[in-house]
Amino acid sequence: MERIRVVDSHTGGEPTRVILEGQLSLAGATMAERRDYFRNHYDRYRTGVLCEPRGSDVLVGAVLTDPVETGSDVGVIFFNNVGYLGMCGHGTIGVVETLRFLDRVDVGRIKLDTPVGCVTAELHPSGEVSIQNVPSYLLAQDVPVEVPGVGRVEGDIAYGGNWFYIIHEPEYEISLARASELTTLTLRIMDALEAAGITGAEGAKIDHIELSGKPTLEAADSKNFVMCPGGAYDRSPCGTGTSAKLACLATRGLLSENQSYLQESVTGSVFRGSVIRAGSSWIPTITGRAHITASSELTFDPVDPIRWGLVP
Footprint on this chain of ligand PYC (rule: CB under 6 A): 14, 60, 85, 88-90, 228, 234, 236, 238-240
How far apart are the C-alpha atoms of 258 and 123, rounded to whole Å?
A: 19
How far apart are the C-alpha atoms of 113 and 125, rounded to whole Å?
A: 23
Phi, psi of 43 (to 5 degrees): -55, -25
Q: Residue 88 Cβ, how far from ligand PYC at the closest point, in Å?
A: 4
Catalytic residues, by residue number, are 88, 238
Per-residue b or e along 195-216, where b marks 16 or more CB atoms closer than 10 Å to that residue's CB: eeebebeeeeebbbbbbbbebe
Q: Which amino acid type is present at position 282?
A: W
Residue 239 or 273: which CB sits closer to ligand PYC?
A: 239
How far apart are the C-alpha atoms of 145 and 242, rounded to whole Å?
A: 22
Output DSSP code: residue 82.
S
Q: How far apart are the first and last CA of the chain?
A: 25
Residue 6 or 228: which CB sits closer to ligand PYC?
A: 228
Count Cα neighbours of 152 within 13 Å in the Cβ-side half-sphere.
4
Residues belonging to the chain: 312
**Residue 85 pairs with which residues in a beta bridge?**
78
Residue pair 240/115 in contact (Cβ under 8 Å)? The answer is no
Residue 85 or 139: which CB sits closer to ligand PYC?
A: 85
Compute CA 188 distance to the chain's CA centroid, rounded to the nearest angstrom.
20
Residue 65 or 80: which CB sits closer to ligand PYC?
A: 80
Q: Residue 240 Cβ, how far from ligand PYC at the closest point, in Å?
A: 3
Residue 221 or 307: which CB sits closer to ligand PYC?
A: 221
How far apart are the C-alpha atoms of 81 and 51, rounded to whole Å?
A: 6
